[in-house]
Amino acid sequence: MAKGYWVSVYPAISDPERLTAYDKLARPAVQAGGGRLLSRGGRVVAHEAGITQRVVLIEFDSFEQAVAAYESEAYQKALAALPDGVERDFRIIEGID
């Protein structure tokens, strides 16, 4: 079964403290859904049309598990806390077996 991944890129963060509040809710929700944080805001080298802003990568045992974690009540509560001053490009993708 192919793994699932959450990929988040943050082109703009105008209020980092409010993003921290979201993270306090999101982290346990992701862990409860079986997610494992692989990268969060580390170094980035962007090529071509890429951006160097914050990137978050989370791995799940399956694509279905990744979708279910996003749709969970706990994560939806965290998502509601994501501040307006944060621009985020979010994807759930299926890995290769």
By residue range, what is the domain housing residue 63? 4-94
Model confidence band, residue 94 (pLDDT cutoffs 50, 70, 90)? very high
Q: How many domains does the chain have?
A: 1
**Whole-Å CA distances, 6 to 14, 15, 82, 86:** 22, 22, 16, 17
pLDDT, one tens digit per residue, over 5-39 is 999 998 888 888 888 888 999 999 999 999 999 99
Q: Enter the tokens of residue 84.
A: 């307006």
Scan for tokens 């694509």, then name that residue: 63
Stronger pLDDT, 67 or 17, i.e. the higher one = 67
CATH number of the domain within which 53 lies = 3.30.70.100
d(CA 14, CA 18): 9
Global pTM reads: 0.90
Predicted confidence at residue 2, as pLDDT, reads: 94
The confidence score (pLDDT) of residue 42 equals: 83
Determine the Cα–Cα distance for residues 34 and 51; give it in Å rounded to an integer: 28
